Amino acid sequence: MRVAVIGGGPGGLYAAALLKRLDPSREINVCERNAPDDTFGFGVVLSDETLGGIEHADPAVHEAMKAEFVRWDDIDIVHRGIRHTSGGHGFAALGRKRLLEILHERCHSLGVELRFQSEAPSPARLAETYDLVIAADGIHSATREAYAEAFRPSVTEHRCRYLWLAADFAFDSFRFVIAETEHGVMQLHGYPYAADASTVIVEMREEVWRAAGFAEADEQESVERCAKIFADALGGRPLRSNKSTWTTFRTVVNEHWSHGNLVLLGDAAHTAHFSIGSGTKLAVEDALTLAACLEEQPSLADALTAYEAERRPVVASTQRAARASLEWFENLGLYLGQPSRQFAFNLLTRSRRVTHDNLRLRDPHFTGNVERAFGCPPGTPPMFTPFRLRGLTLRNRVVVSPMDMYSAVDGVPGDFHLVHLGARALGGAGLVMTEMVCVSPQGRITPGCAGLWSPRQAEAWRRVVRFVHAQAPGTAIGVQLGHSGRKGSTKLMWEGIDEPLEDGNWSLVAASPLPYTPRNQTPRELTRAQLTDIREEFSGAAWRAARCGFDLLELHCAHGYLLSGFLSPLTNRRTDRYGGSLDHRLRFPLEVFDAVRSVWPEERPMTVRISATDWADGGTTAEDAVEIARAFAAHGADAVDVSTGQVVADEHPEFGRSYQTPFADRIRHEVGVPVITVGAISSWDDVNSLILAGRTDLCALARPHLYDPNWTLHAAAEQGYQGPGVSWPAPYRAGSRPPRTGRADAPKPRLTLGS
């Protein structure tokens, strides 16, 4: 096999060395347009996982790197002059230049041909003359651009400018330093990579960069000014550059990583923000996987398919974490007012990969200090601290999220609802929410939806509320009121979600006459008189809900249902006073909110669920969501339940663990209103992390409570918590410890033989 590698960075060089080591008969050529000692970074951080893979695949490279490593355990965060240290993290770094030298030496010893200061021939020509072409030509990959139709790249440019520099001394930790200047907030990321050298990255928002005059400054002036801004962190020492220029980070994603015998590797295929130290790590891991797949698969095509299949989910997970970290630093200004310990915890957990439980294992002293500052009583996890909304005090921060059950008859909740909601109330959550309860027959999603438009329905709900209050004291129960709008008259979820009924349809109404999909019914645009009628239906349902004894009421203004349909510009095309600008689109939902609030008891809280983004071009944005939340808060909303999407059928959500939390986080800090966050929160560790970091006040979980109605009780048991934030129902107390499932230990050897 003849292999051409375009690009002599760590990923390309390591791929070349591995392939040659595995099969010395391979002819491998590396083309690098720069000189051997050219490098545009300073230090490289690698994880123990990556180092383990290198050690297993090529001990010679590992030993050479090991001899150069600088290792440390601490992360320091300096916020408003206060320094907090978290230990137990375990980093290893070395100079990028030295890493390249090690890889050059290894390639030479194995017989790889390295061509420096040599532009590679065109990818098309290489593809004709080599069996395999590895494009490791970086973020600005010419190979990727030459075959853009095949690779289908997407490059997203972000909001911060950064400058990659070095200092001629070694930090004793990974250092994050925040500087609040007259022009705005700036941050320093620093870490040692040699006994006498550190990488220093200075980063700030584009508007801060311009206001500070860096757009007009030359390289030397920028370096000197950065050293002055962060003089305390640097101990007054200077910074140095290496052809350093201010740049914006670009996230690269490709739909395909190979085309024929061309394959992308490292930054050519994907990028992840430097704040989680992943660029070189990902490239080296790509090389390891590509080499392994070429050994294991029967053909080149199979190998490239296997390489992408194995690496894509790993890279996607890393990119999600990197995106969360990147956006946290972009929005750093939101968190400056946090208490310093909480700010430090928030920074450490920003990517969602480091969690509360993980930090407690690494550094229990640091985590304990954060918990005490937050107000956690001794031995109390953050999720089991109380939270007050108006006259209601929730004993813990767990909410059973509203989940449509589609099991009512004529809108009347039955035994199923009693058992479903009763079981989850017994399961320990602080607040259990009903499904969306419809305010009229026309406002149902499906024939199986529950309602609250009749006395019979109210009496059935009263039965559920009485059970919760009597049998699960300490658990609150809330009702969510809504109207389906254009998403009504559809089949039960398990018969075909959002699919129109084959018979028995009812007419639909909406902000504008736009069907949810071409298959769905076209709704009628609501007239002014009909808007008044619907507003009265909401207030009537709220009046009944109050007499049922519900502790909290939530107005459903999300997921494309009627009130959400008014808020989104994609579903509201009206030309009257209820359409057009966001202020006008808010008008009817706010009228409904005011009508409901006027009949809902003053001492009981009222929340609003919104879709913070439509995940679609031209739809509601995160900035709009802040203003929507601000408007509802001004009208008396006690909290905003922040969801996303489901407004239009052609949405493109960015799914991932707790992926909707950043929207809630932003609303909480910009509006100053309590928030409930939802979306792929699956573990009690996630709940503790989000609460303690100040990103949310309450966490609503849906699927975990379908899997385990006693999710909150089990979370307490697994954490060894037995305080007032949760209690086992008396008949269940014997089950408060996990049952034994079998023998946990193995027989000890009876004899030990000496060697």
d(CA 613, CA 92): 39
The answer to whether 718 and 726 are in contact (CB under 8 A) is no
* Beta bridge mates, 93: 45, 70
The three-class DSSP label of residue 152 is coil
Please list, residue by residue across 664-700, b when 16 or more beta carbons sit within 10 angstroms of its beta carbon and e when fewer do: bbbbbbbbebbbbbbbbbebbbbbbbbbbbbbbbbbb
**One-letter amino acid of 659:** Y
CA atoms within 13 A on the CB side of 199: 23
d(CA 111, CA 313): 33
Enter the tokens of residue 306. Answer: 């296997």
d(CA 76, CA 138): 31
Closest C-alpha to 70, from 53, 55, 92: 92
3-state helix/strand/coil string of 511-533: CCCCCCCCCCCCCEECCHHHHHH
Phi, psi of 620, deg, nearest 5: -60, 135
Catalytic residue among 130, 193, 516, 561: 561
By CB atoms closer than 10 A (0-12, 13-18, 19+), residue 750 is exposed
Dihedral of the CA atoms 419, 421, 423, 428 (nearest 10)? Answer: -170
The answer to whether 270 and 315 are in contact (CB under 8 A) is yes
Please list, residue by residue across 74-101, b when 16 or more beta carbons sit within 10 angstroms of its beta carbon and e when fewer do: bbbbbbeeeebebbbbebbbbbbbbbbb
For the chain, the first-to-last Cα distance in angstroms comes to 48
**One-letter amino acid of 28:** I
Active site residue 561: yes
Enter the tokens of residue 490. Answer: 């559809």
Rounded to 5°, the CA angle 430-432-437 comes to: 155
How far is Cα of residue 575 from the mean position of the Cα atoms in its chain?
37
Enter the tokens of residue 558. Answer: 């999300």
d(CA 562, CA 691): 31
Enter the tokens of residue 391. Answer: 């006259």
d(CA 396, CA 679): 19
Enter the tokens of residue 259. Answer: 């085309």
Phi, psi of 581, deg, nearest 5: -70, 165
Helices (H), 448-527: 455-471, 493-496
Could you tell me whether strands 524-525 and 184-194 are parallel, antiparallel, or unpaired per DSSP bridges?
Answer: unpaired
Cite the active site residues: 561
